[in-house]
Structure 1
Amino acid sequence: MIKRVAIIGVGLIGSSLGLALGDIQEVEEVIGIDKNQDYLQEALNIGAIDKIASLKEGVRDVDLIILATPVGIIKDLVVEVLPYIDNKTIITDVGSTKSTLVRKLEVLVGDHIYIGGHPMTGAETSGPSGADKYLFENAIYVLTETEKTDQASLAELKNILEKIGSQVLVLSPENHDRTVAVTSHLPHLIAVNLMSVIEQFSQKDEQVTSLIAGGFRDTTRIAAGDPVMWRDIFLNNKEMVLETIDIFEERLSSLKELILNNQGEILGETLAEIRDARVRLPMKKKGLLPSNFELIITLKDKPNAIGSVASLLGDAEINIQDIEVLKVRDEGGTIRLSFSQEEEQEEAYRLLKEKSYKVIKK
């Protein structure tokens, strides 16, 4: 059983995991390790960790080590911890890319146990101050499986992650990276490139930025992500990212040729086909991965808590497609709101944040 946990990196994800694991009866102690002393003290103050330790002392005799750090330094950290742990300790990480990392670490750890991980959740804040023990509720948490994976340890890790509310999805590292390359990494590159285009135009004409529409803001919002984190993601998932870029360039070149040659009829048909493909995306589907627009809200235990949320959004003429109670606790609970349109989700998120609700976009 996983009783003692060491978390290396107590930022948003690491501290949120610490808070969530601290609520599990089986977990007796969560140890925090980080070079940032301010983060460590803050994580201790909010209860995300039970004590602060050096790397050498913190990983001794623990059952699970979680590397909640940027992808680029995970390998070096594993090298550091191996001399101080036995071969029953499970090592996992929260990195956004898996193929290269998992293959390298499986060789590096030898007889020790490593299982790659990637929680598909987050928030718009950083550091322990943004930590939320409900961050993983109903969120997809990917664990990797290869021919070298210790099945008993995989089952043990899966079990404890499910206890903090995650929906665990076991994938091969390659399948994970291929999927996130097209659904996450390529969109980020496109957003970054769009911002570079608008920056170039705005240097010649200051009025360009004043005419930016909501669609452009929504499309480029993710370009504000951490540059160091995304640099590591692109370089560690290089092969898959380049493959998606090649396909994107081919499709963009085809559209460019149609415009260049004034092929209006074919251009219209192509745009109609793409529009129909977008419309066909299911707003709701059964299975592990939801495809509609959702908000997860933490509510306090008081009369009409859910009704107040519904009234707030109803007064703004925002249609709630579905309401689901995820967890009920003595101090309150969490609910999930579903919307059919992204614009409704965004406006609901804005209104709820203005009223100081704890809310996460899914």
Structure 2
Amino acid sequence: MQVGLVGLGFMGGSLAKGIKKKCPDHKITAYDKDVSVSMQAFEEKIIDYVAQLPGADELLPEGLSTGTFESCDIVFICTPVHTVIPVIQKLQGHLKQGCILTDIGSTKGEIVEQVDRLHLEYPFIGGHPMTGSEKKGFEYSIDILLENAYYLITPSRNADSFSIQLLTNLLKSIGALVIVIKPDTHDYVTAAISHVPHVIASSLVNTVLKNDLSNKLMHTLAAGGFRDITRIASSSPEIWTDISISNKEHILQLLHAFECELASFREHLKANEDELIHKFFTQAKQYRDSFEFRTTGVIQPVFEFSVSVEDRPGMIAHIATLLAKEDISIKNIGIVNNREGFEGALRIEFYSLESMNHAYQVLKKRNYTVHPKENK
């Protein structure tokens, strides 16, 4: 199979690496607006050919195996939501008959609607991998990102059953869990579990920013639970501006529902209605505790634990060295001054569940007291 990729950022790069790992016989042609990224992917043997979008004037550096998208069976458009349609328009007339076009954007209704108006000669199937990271760029992409991750696909009117099955088979081959869903349903669901939570997380951070004391005490103490529930506020402002505008109606609808929930709590609090306040927290706890814990999702989990250590020079370096000797990569490490949500003084974050579990065993064998965070 010939696979095309437009965009080699975090998601495009992870798709390319996953396909190359699981389907080494597939040939990958890719374009990125930063030619150095394309060169890196080529040199690392992640892609087989470097391409330009039709109409591009710039010349590619010598020494690269160049190609076009004309021979591709499937082309993934891995660019921001507002650029998907312009990319499709550039590709029109430069793909073979039956080539499947798909994207990886976080909103689907607007894109599928615009595609239907274009009367494309190629089947278009919207796609949304329900996994990701606050990080962006090819250098952070990983080959296992889509393993056991839900991948929602939203066929347009011109997508036939054969095309849907072909794309589904490719995604399943790299470990994704494919669900076919209507575009509008997709946008309503993701507004609830992803888009509105990003708005709320950013609102919480801005609330602290605008109400902090003159000595910045809130900023100093903002760790533990506050840090956890606002982590997604560190996501790309460009991407989330794009998503918010694209899925405006559903976000506004669910923001209203959230505001009603807050207003109800505010009234209970004003009236000192302790039973209703208790019910508010109990209902939320019971529903959240029913969620299935998965290591992938539209909002990535954090793989971390804390360690009880003495405050002495070289302790962080000592533990980091212990883990490095076991080939365990650390994503972040540091002393926790606000211990809310952490029992130990040293917090260590990892790139994967496997790395975290391995590190846990290594440190326990050396008689460190390790405090895993409960994953619910």
Q: Would you call these one fold, judging by a TM-score over 0.5?
A: yes
**8 Å Cα contact 2:154/2:180 also seen in 1:** yes
Find the counterpart in structure 2 of residue 114 from structure 1.
124
- 1:119-155 CA distance string (max 9 Å, x none): 1122343222112112111111111135543110000
Structure-2 separation of matches of 1:5 and 1:292: 27
Q: Which residue of 2 aligns with 1:33?
A: 31
Tell me the residue number matched to 1:150.
160
**CA displacement at 1:27 relative to structure 2:** 4.5
User: Which of the numbers 5, 21, 26 marks the counterpart of 2:3?
Assistant: 5
How far did residue 215 of structure 1 move?
A: 0.8
Q: Is residue 243 of structure 1 aligned with residue 277 of structure 2?
A: no
Change (3 A) 1:27 1:118: farther
TM-score normalised to structure 2 length: 0.74
1:97 aligns with 2:95: no
Amino acid at match of 1:40: S
CA distance in 1, matches of 2:104, 2:357: 36
Give the corresponding residue for 2:83. Answer: 73
Decide whether the 8 Å contact of 2:293 with 2:375 is kept in 1.
no
- Once the two structures are TM-superposed, the CA of residue 117 in structure 1 deviates from its matched residue by 0.6
For 1:197, the equivalent position in structure 2 comes to 207
- Paired amino acid for 1:38: S
Q: Is the aligned partner of 1:178 residue 2:171?
A: no
Which letter does structure 2 place at the counterpart of 1:159? N
Q: What residue in structure 1 maps to residue 322 of structure 2?
A: none
**Residue 97 of structure 1 contacts residue 236 of structure 1 at CA under 8 Å; is this kept in 2?**
yes
Seq. identity, %: 29
* Correspondence for 2:219: 209
Unaligned runs of 5+ in 2: 55-66, 304-325, 328-354
Q: Does 1:63 align with 2:73?
A: yes
Q: Counterpart of 1:270? A: 280
Question: Do the aligned partners of 2:147 and 2:176 also contact (CA within 8 Å) in 1?
Answer: yes
**Aligned residue in 2 for 1:21:** 19
Out of 221, 226, 238, the position equivalent to 2:236 is 226
- Where does the alignment leave 5 or more consecutive residues of structure 1 unmatched? 320-338, 343-362
**Structural RMSD (CA):** 3.0
Partner amino acid for 1:311?
Q
Q: Is the 8 A contact 1:292 1:340 kept in 2?
A: no
Partner of 1:357: none
Q: CA deviation at 1:58?
A: 2.2
Counterparts of 2:222 and 2:162, CA distance in 1: 53
Is 1:311 aligned to residue 321 of structure 2? no
Distance 1:6 1:147 in 2: 22
Alpha carbons 1:4, 1:27 under 8 Å: kept: no
Ranked by relative contact order (alpha carbons within 8 Å, sequence separation 6 or more), the top structure is 2
SS at match of 2:202: helix
After superposition, the C-alpha distances for 1:225-249 in whole angstroms (9 at most, x for unaligned) are: 0011111111111111111101001
Q: Calculate the TM-score normalised by the size of structure 1.
A: 0.77
SS at 2:5 equivalent: strand
Q: How many residues align?
A: 312
The answer to whether structure 1 residue 341 and structure 2 residue 375 are counterparts is: yes
CA contact (8 A) 1:283 1:291 kept: no
Residue 81 of structure 1 deviates from its aligned partner by 0.5
Aligned position for 2:267: 257
In 1: Cα distance, 2:111 partner to 2:154 partner: 11
Worse-matched range after superposition: 262-271 or 7-16: 262-271
Q: Residue in 2 aligned with 1:334?
A: none
CA contact (8 A) 1:98 1:176 kept: yes
SS in 1 for 2:268: helix
